[in-house]
Structure 1
């Protein structure tokens, strides 16, 4: 396991609204050393998948080719979150300057109903929304990856999928991360299903570190997709197996749901922060809107003057986060079904009105904060990977099964684990989901709707050129983790490795607690408590996979030290 240092205290001081500090790219002077390359860079949660992506780049593929190869490889090497049976989002900046978003979020089956996750007393039943066959939405990953490859890639599908097929058929050696997750999380869901147990168990125990995981059925499914494209998943044998599995056990996904699924290309959410351009995922992700909303609030303060890790800087960010998460609870949902007030939420004027409510010396209780009046302003387990190629194409992908191993259900003979993304809907307005997030009517369950997500693949540009590619898993903490990567690099002048190593904090409005990782000064914690923050110190959050591009085109990558077996690599 990597060792990482988290006791940073940078005493930086700049004038209010001054240009951000220049980022040093001199590795010899860095406290933490990013990986350096000229021709391409990949950062993912799994070393094998990262090397697959780098090999595709070496073979002449572009960043999209490599990203698709990594996405399929992670379905084999990182089954906790890498997937064919889930969904996610992709942010893409092409070498020609186009920035676009691909939404391959799961959709609720056509037979889904508003109160399907309530018990006979009208209360939300988390077992229904997390571990039953009802918990799965119609998967989007295969549609999303093939859409991206067909429109923006340069290599054929069967070529970029060959590494994943080989890994599934020949097997991989179980690493620390997979062994730990099989033991800690997999034991709760996988052994309950014969198909899953046959893959991930040996006798009466989960596979252990050093043992070989062979996924023959998954290899066959991958081969079908490589030969026949997305139709193999949504209309062929795989679809038949998924529909049959659901019908046998009370699930709702049927062949019509699968055949009717479409990935959607959307216009990214865009913001400007201290001279940088922020492009992030639009709804049904809440991440892009609220990252920009929080940045807009914080632009009214000189964070660099207070310094990284100071009580005052944390106070400002935490209070801004409360307002954003309160708005999330009311206004965010699937834009194909509800009107999301994106312009108001990302308005600089609205942000200024919220900034004026923030007291540097007093934490406002969450009970005193609610969703804002927008009328005047109208006009855990997930995985992320980032890829940049020598031509300047940049890709950020976050995709997931939702919780670790999803439902734990493998559909028939496909070898494909199914998601439990239906839990991301608001089963009952005001009732928190598994991540403690509160939602409202805008995110209620409905046929063919896409559940609200916090996944936040993000691109930061400077003068029209890619400057930072980042994203993270972490459920409700994704938004604040990605936010801090932006703040650490722009406001506090950190390189990509320093920004990844720095300790993190999080506030999501409800519950009213300020969560800190270990590593912050006891004096900082004491001062925050004096301001009225309900401080709790909890385990590490996030697993960022990030790439920074220097003005001369040099690529710097960093895999998050909170994860084991992840890797940033280039050539």
Structure 2
């Protein structure tokens, strides 16, 4: 099942450099040049029309929060396969005045009736993957819209309704179907039902690339949210419609209730921060695993001279793979919803513990076995099994005052569980729990429980320079590859002195707690495979669904970055787009 989600999608998308409101179509850049830096605000997102919406809010005097919300709402329209109101998000915010970091957890929550056997058959064995990912039980209570409202209440400047206007206009007036959207439907969207089937599969065929799509139902739904806030989705008719749809699903009907929706809350979590060389790395805490795992990968590399080795060294990439293995093993064993299990955050991020873990890594050989460590505060016995979240979108927004909003939003697999409510696709996040609730009689930390939030790989990250000023804000999409993507890019920027753009564009070696690793096909790393194997790596070359976005600070100015594998862009307040040289074989993953 996971392999299916790792298959690649392809295709470019047109860009527009200066429209105040997102347009349906515009020319695509193909030159490899960096946009001029700016100090007035910037947005990096997975689709140019979404970035334009965020920039429109900044031009009106809006905050980074306003820009991020408008960007997310347009992503709901133009890439419903990856993100939207029917899913959840994690948000990391830097306050320019105080330097404080706030993090919000809007992860989807399991219904109260869920339990360890949620995805098990009557024989006690896991149900088939199709049922698990596409059934009614796959959906948790969505948190994205609640998080937008909470963030706006705290940090918004523009009227709430203004943030919806670009998305409403696109839905009402129409937009051009991108290659990614078409390919997502063709390859992974056959499970959509009801309104979504009629809309995205007219005459039984997926919408064609270049077709104009109008979504009046979605426009009406967004207009309601603009006027009424999130209430219709949590305590109103849309909540009741969602409950009815999930509980009557043809595959694995849920046991969701209206009370599950009404009781949903956005939770402010403590950020996870630590150092890597002279840099301070801050990210999201559990149930997100990215903050801990990205820091662990970097910290375990700290004793190695990565700068001397350089990006062309197979040894450097071997070290990255080894550090990934150790970090993912700890992730799978210990990280879960802290409201249900005691996550040893301090132990997992302890410099002493990570230095001990680092000693397991050799420049000349590969680990013979990969096991979770024993950080301080860990339970006596653990059971681990990793299930990865699948589909996601990352974005970065910086306003004129220097406030930063780095967030990652997701509905998991393409088009979630395929069930629409008010034109909004519901998520399929609950398979991110460990499907098998125990191993050798030991309960898994990330097992299904009522009201619990599943572990996530989302890794919104902000890095600070030695003087405390922001250096780079970055996030990624692509299931459990997200952690490796962010760590790899940060090694590129901080150790190899690459631009954020070049660091994101580098190939990836992905070793998620297993002996086997995957080197991204079509990249410079593929030629290193013989050398990696000589170091003991069990490595194969294959597609990896990757997509990252970032904004970095260079000589006091903002410089944007977006993944050349995607249709994403970075755009400044003047409408200037960071020009991205798209790869000839765009590896636009099926689980963005």
For 2:478, the equivalent position in structure 1 comes to 474
The aligned runs of 1:166-565 (5 Å cut-off) are 166-187=169-190, 189-190=191-192, 193-249=193-249, 250-365=253-368, 368-375=369-376, 380-411=390-421, 414-429=422-437, 441-462=444-465, 463-510=467-514, 512-520=516-524, 524-552=528-556, 554-564=557-567
For 1:127, the equivalent position in structure 2 comes to 130
Are residues 333 and 223 of structure 1, via their aligned partners in 2, closer, same or farther at CA, if it must alter by over 3 Å? same
Are residues 140 and 504 of structure 1, via their aligned partners in 2, closer, same or farther at CA, if it must alter by over 3 Å? same
Are residues 535 and 196 of structure 1, via their aligned partners in 2, closer, same or farther at CA, if it must alter by over 3 Å? same
Aligned-partner Cα distance in 2 for 1:334–1:488: 31
Instruction: Please say if 1:159 is aligned against 2:162.
Output: yes
For 2:84, the equivalent position in structure 1 comes to 83
Aligned-partner Cα distance in 2 for 1:418–1:376: 36
Cα distance, 1:320 vs. partner? 1.0
Aligned-partner Cα distance in 2 for 1:511–1:196: 40
Corresponding residue SS for 2:220: helix
**Count of residues paired in the alignment:** 528
Cα distance, 1:519 vs. partner? 2.5
**Ranges in structure 1 where 5+ consecutive residues have no aligned partner:** 4-29, 432-438
For 1:51, the equivalent position in structure 2 comes to 52
Are residues 415 and 376 of structure 1, via their aligned partners in 2, closer, same or farther at CA, if it must alter by over 3 Å? closer
> Would the aligned equivalents of 2:88 and 2:142 in 1 still touch at CA under 8 Å?
yes
Cα distance, 1:525 vs. partner? 1.8
Corresponding residue SS for 2:337: coil
Provide Cα deviations, 1:128-147, integer angstroms capped at 9, x if missing partner: 32001111000001011111
> Would the aligned equivalents of 2:284 and 2:459 in 1 still touch at CA under 8 Å?
yes
Q: Which runs of 4+ in 1 moved over 6 A?
A: none
Corresponding residue SS for 1:544: strand
**Ranges in structure 2 where 5+ consecutive residues have no aligned partner:** 1-10, 14-30, 380-389, 575-592
Aligned-partner Cα distance in 2 for 1:523–1:134: 43
Cα distance, 1:236 vs. partner? 1.4
For 2:43, the equivalent position in structure 1 comes to 42
Cα distance, 1:551 vs. partner? 3.3
Are residues 507 and 309 of structure 1, via their aligned partners in 2, closer, same or farther at CA, if it must alter by over 3 Å? farther
> Would the aligned equivalents of 2:438 and 2:447 in 1 still touch at CA under 8 Å?
no
For 1:11, the equivalent position in structure 2 comes to none
Aligned-partner Cα distance in 2 for 1:135–1:424: 9
Aligned-partner Cα distance in 1 for 2:391–2:90: 15
> Would the aligned equivalents of 2:293 and 2:327 in 1 still touch at CA under 8 Å?
yes
Provide Cα deviations, 1:467-487, integer angstroms capped at 9, x if missing partner: 101111110100000111111
> Would the aligned equivalents of 1:270 and 1:278 in 2 still touch at CA under 8 Å?
yes
Corresponding residue SS for 2:425: coil
Cα distance, 1:36 vs. partner? 3.1
> Would the aligned equivalents of 2:83 and 2:391 in 1 still touch at CA under 8 Å?
no
Cα distance, 1:515 vs. partner? 3.0
Corresponding residue SS for 2:111: coil
